[in-house]
Every structure is written in C-alpha cells, then in structure tokens.
Amino acid sequence: MYRKTVGVIGLGKTGSEVARLVKSFDMKVLAWDRRRKEAQNVDQVYGAENGDNLNELLAQCDYVVLSLELNDQTFHIIDAAQLAAMKKTAFLVNMGRGGLVNEPAMIEALKNGGIAGAGLDTFETEPLPSESPLWNLPNVIITPHITPQLPDKEERMLDYVYQNIKAYRENGTFVNRVTLRNMLTPQK
C-alpha cells in the first residue's frame, strides 16, 4: 500500500476515517463525495454535484474503497463502465452497501482480469448465496458484514435523539436527518 493511490468513494465518518488511516502508509488519497469540498487527509476531492467524472478518479487508483450510503444516486455507482475505467491491477473494497456495485459486472471483471481483486463486506443479496461464484474466486476476500459493538453506541444514539429534540424545539439543525435524497427506490 505504501505510496499507492486510494480512491475513497464517500467522505462520511467511515470514508474520512479510511482516509486518515491510509495516510500513515503515505498513500495519495483521492475522494468522491456529493459535493466537492476540502477534507482532511485527502489530496483531491471530486464532487458528483460539480459534474466531476468518477471514471477519471477510478483510473488513477490502485485501491477503491466504497463507503457510501445506498440511495437512488449511488445504486450501482460501480458498474461495468466504472470497472473498465479502473486499472487492471486495482482492488475494489466494498464496505458500504451491496447495491453500490453491479455484482454480475464485478464478477465478470474479476474473472477476466479487468481488476486484480476485491475485498467484500457486503453484497446485493445477504447472506451471500452459497451458489455465488464470489465464494470460489481466488482474487476475492469475503468478510462477514458485522458492525462491531462499540462501548458508547447507545450513549451516542441517545445523544442524537436529544440533539434532534432540541433542534425540533428550537427550529435548529437536525443530525443524521433522512431526506428524500437518502432514499432508495425499490429496484424492479
């Protein structure tokens, strides 16, 4: 990983932490987010709302880490065209949601050398069906989609509730607010 380039797709809490951690390997960090903005530990940010091209970012990366929420804008954000834009030596890591990746297109890219490999924590169908070819691909690492128990998880959840009650009463700003932009329309 030393001095390689990583693309962090989604700069929320998880993506920002990935950027911070990989900087210790002296990695060049590119990021993709809804809005182009400066971010700590990121060398360059591309923004979807600014009309930046995701494929330009992908073409530069040795590793691509997905840490996005799944919604109508991000469903299959990695499709055959994006996989083709990646280096043949690149690795895809999905720690976001399964629907971010077009799984059949990824399987094809993994089988034919379109990308070097993948680390997958989440899938379009969970649990991953036993007949999925992903189980037998030598260039795939599968991890269980389990969020670790954090010692302050309940305290932080209650803190969000209290902040939102206060915001409601005082006409303030809500935290972790779900909007129409966060929704995923059921796929047919």
Is 145 catalytic? The answer is yes
- DSSP, res 103: H
CA distance 9 to 27: 15
Number of helices followed by number of strands (H, E) in the chain: 5, 7
Catalytic choice (35, 56, 126, 181): 126
Q: Which residue in 97, 103, 124, 155 is the catalytic one?
A: 97
Q: Where are the beta strands (DSSP E) in the chain?
A: 5-9, 28-33, 44-47, 63-66, 91-94, 117-120, 140-142
- CB contact at 8 A, 67 and 95: yes
Please identify which of the residues 20, 34, 76, 145 carries the catalytic annotation: 145
Is the distance from CB of 49 to CB of 55 less than 8 angstroms?
no
Mind telling me the catalytic residues?
97, 126, 145
